[in-house]
């Protein structure tokens, strides 16, 4: 099935034309985002923590120290909301009211599940590492038994999930078209700067292609 | 006072060397971030929504349609967590375990307060518009009475607030220094692309300096 099913939580009540439930859109936003924002509740207090993540098909993985507050709370099977947003540009209208931001966002509602077995953890950690920068996992030292033990990995299923996308120019009111101000979009994108070698690297060490030719984009699954 | 006071909620229990409570750091991160992520709870379900915002001194403002689910829920004085994060680079270690992201984040715990009076709303909307792009408010049509009425503005005080910052190279284990892989940082930054004029603008309309010379950075208060 190529689309997620809207639910009471994910159905958009406002601006429904911005909503998207197709897997391609959801996957693309998640795969392009560097971090997600994990919301959970402890003693009635909402907490939102930014964290890196990975995705395999309809499963999102997060990880962290077994000692982290977030990981320990979420291991208890409490409800979680995971959100990721890409900012694509500034929308500059003729009226203050119609200023906006072009963005693509995904919101997932669910429950986190502990990935307990070493093979499952290794697969998730590969996805998280490859999400940071594709091509890296094959080059680096894999997690050892001690590191695996110190790392908690959680899975969140993409089931109750929706995307929202705003694109295009401002939507000014007809009567504002005469306001003498430049209106339009200022597109934004994330750019890489030249890589900085670790101080312990030889200064002339060759930068591998997965770093020098890095370009953020969606992966193919 | 130049620093915020750590509380039970904002005190960092892990990696405390990444923590910062000085106003300059907190302000700079908030002013550079395009959006924040607002976490709140409805019927025990955490919800995280990305939204634009503005800041004046120790007050953060968010706004939206009076009909929005988030704004209506938050108007009830429920606890809120507001988080903003800047991604500064990818940290490429020799071991998978030490891969990381260089980032700057702020987390605010508090309660949202309705800004009910028109003058207060106008001030907040100016801050939100100027946060999108400085220099804009003076150029555009200000909100009229109808728009003000249709817009809910909420204030969140910066009281329980902390920043976290990771910078610099990977921190590999001593025994991994011989792993034959390039290690270091791949810095990232948000870049503007050429502005796109609204379709209803004259194609040769001059792009004003606040757009053509736009550069994201901290403001001076």
Identify whether B167 is part of a domain: yes
Which residues of chain A are within 8 Å of residue B190 when distances are taken between CB atoms? 87, 188-191
| A221 or A154, higher pLDDT | A154
- Burial classification of residue B166, based on how many CB atoms lie within 10 Å of its CB (0-12 exposed, 13-18 middle, 19 or more buried): middle
Report yes or no: A85 at the B interface, CB cutoff 8 Å: yes
Nearest to B157 by CA among B105, B218, B108: B108
How confident is the model over A74-96, as a mean pLDDT? 96
Distance CA B40, CA B42 (A): 7
The answer to whether B136 and B210 are in contact (CB under 8 A) is yes
Residue to mutate among A8, A19, A50, with most B CBs inside 10 A, is A50
Identify whether A106 is part of a domain: yes
Identify whether B182 is part of a domain: yes
Tally of CA atoms within 13 A in the half-sphere of B153 that contains its CB: 26
Nearest to B63 by CA among B126, B125, B106: B125
Strand pairing of A79-92 and A36-42? Answer: antiparallel
Identify whether A22 is part of a domain: yes
pLDDT tens digits for A25-53? 999 999 999 999 999 999 999 999 999 99
Q: What is the pLDDT of residue B221?
A: 39
Residue B95 pairs in a beta bridge with A141
Q: What angle do CA B44, B45, B49 make, to 5 degrees?
A: 135
| CATH assignment of the domain containing B84 | 2.30.110.10
- B14/A140 touch (CB, cutoff 8 Å), yes or no: no
* B:9-68 residues touching chain A, CB 8 A cutoff: 9, 13-14, 34-35, 37-41, 44-50, 52, 65, 67-68
- Burial classification of residue B159, based on how many CB atoms lie within 10 Å of its CB (0-12 exposed, 13-18 middle, 19 or more buried): middle
Q: What is the pLDDT of residue A217?
A: 63
* Cα dihedral A107/A113/A114/A115 (nearest 10): -80
Q: Tokens at residue A36, please? A: 């997600």
Least CB–CB distance from A188: residue in B139, B151, B192: B192
Question: ipTM of this predicted complex?
Answer: 0.94
Q: What is the pLDDT of residue B1?
A: 60
Give the minimum alpha-carbon distance from B161 to chain A in angstroms, rounded to a whole number: 12
Other beta carbons within 10 Å of B60: 28
Termini Cα distance of chain A:
14
pLDDT above 90 (res B151)? yes
Identify whether A217 is part of a domain: no
The answer to whether A183 and A169 are in contact (CB under 8 A) is yes
pLDDT above 50 (res B53)? yes
pLDDT tens digits for B162-202? 999 999 999 999 999 999 999 999 999 999 999 999 999 98
Distance CA B156, CA B109 (A): 9
Q: Tokens at residue B7, please? A: 């509380």
Range(s) of the domain holding residue A127? 16-212
Question: Per the structure, how many domains does chain B have?
Answer: 1
Q: What is the pLDDT of residue A23?
A: 95
Q: What is the mean pLDDT of chain B?
A: 93
The answer to whether B101 and B107 are in contact (CB under 8 A) is no
Which ranges constitute the DSSP H helices of chain A? 23-32, 69-75, 118-132, 145-150, 209-212
- Burial classification of residue A122, based on how many CB atoms lie within 10 Å of its CB (0-12 exposed, 13-18 middle, 19 or more buried): middle
Could you say which DSSP state residue A221 is in?
-
What SS3 class is residue B124? helix
Identify whether A5 is part of a domain: no
pLDDT tens digits for B73-123? 999 899 999 999 999 999 999 999 999 999 999 999 999 999 999 999 999
Strand pairing of B79-92 and B100-114? Answer: antiparallel
A218 confidence band (pLDDT: 50, 70, 90)? very low
Nearest to B35 by CA among B196, B216, B221: B216
A17 confidence band (pLDDT: 50, 70, 90)? confident
Identify whether B6 is part of a domain: no
How confident is the model over A111-125, as a mean pLDDT? 97
pLDDT above 60 (res A215)? yes
- Burial classification of residue A194, based on how many CB atoms lie within 10 Å of its CB (0-12 exposed, 13-18 middle, 19 or more buried): exposed
Other beta carbons within 10 Å of A37: 28
pLDDT above 90 (res A216)? no
How confident is the model over A118-123, as a mean pLDDT? 98
Residue B47 pairs in a beta bridge with B40
pLDDT above 60 (res A147)? yes
The answer to whether A34 and A52 are in contact (CB under 8 A) is yes
Nearest to B10 by CA among B21, B22, B18: B21
Q: What is the mean pLDDT of chain A?
A: 93
Distance CA A28, CA A115 (A): 24
| A63 or B202, higher pLDDT | A63
Report yes or no: A211 at the B interface, CB cutoff 8 Å: yes
- Give pTM, 2 decimals: 0.95
Distance CA B51, CA B35 (A): 5
Identify whether B63 is part of a domain: yes
Q: What is the pLDDT of residue A160?
A: 96
Distance CA B145, CA B149 (A): 6
Which residues of chain A are within 8 Å of residue B90 when distances are taken between CB atoms? 34, 132-133
Residue A79 pairs in a beta bridge with A111
Which residues of chain B are within 8 Å of residue A140 when distances are taken between CB atoms? 93-96, 99, 179, 181
């Amino acid at each position: 099935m190529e689309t997620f099913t809207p639910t009471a939580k994910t159905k958009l009540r406002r601006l429904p034309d911005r909503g998207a439930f197709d897997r391609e859109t959801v996957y693309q936003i998640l795969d392009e985002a560097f971090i997600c924002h994990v919301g959970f509740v402890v003693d009635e207090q909402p907490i939102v923590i930014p964290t890196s993540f990975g995705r395999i098909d309809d499963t999102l993985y997060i990880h962290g120290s077994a000692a982290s507050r977030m990981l320990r709370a979420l291991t208890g099977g409490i409800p979680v909301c995971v959100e990721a947003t890409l900012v694509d540009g500034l929308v500059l209208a003729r009226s203050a009211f119609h200023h906006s931001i072009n963005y693509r966002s995904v919101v997932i509602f669910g429950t986190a599940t502990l990935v307990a077995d070493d093979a499952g953890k290794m697969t998730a950690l590969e996805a998280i590492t490859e999400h940071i920068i594709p091509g890296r996992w094959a080059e680096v030292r894999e997690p050892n038994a001690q590191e695996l033990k110190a790392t908690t990995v959680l899975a969140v299923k993409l089931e109750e999930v929706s995307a929202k996308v705003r694109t295009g120019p401002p939507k000014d009111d007809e009567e504002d078209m005469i306001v003498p101000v430049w209106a339009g979009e200022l597109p934004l994108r994330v750019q890489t700067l030249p890589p900085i070698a670790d101080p312990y690297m030889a200064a002339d060490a060759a930068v591998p292609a997965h770093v020098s030719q890095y370009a953020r984009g969606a992966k193919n699954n």
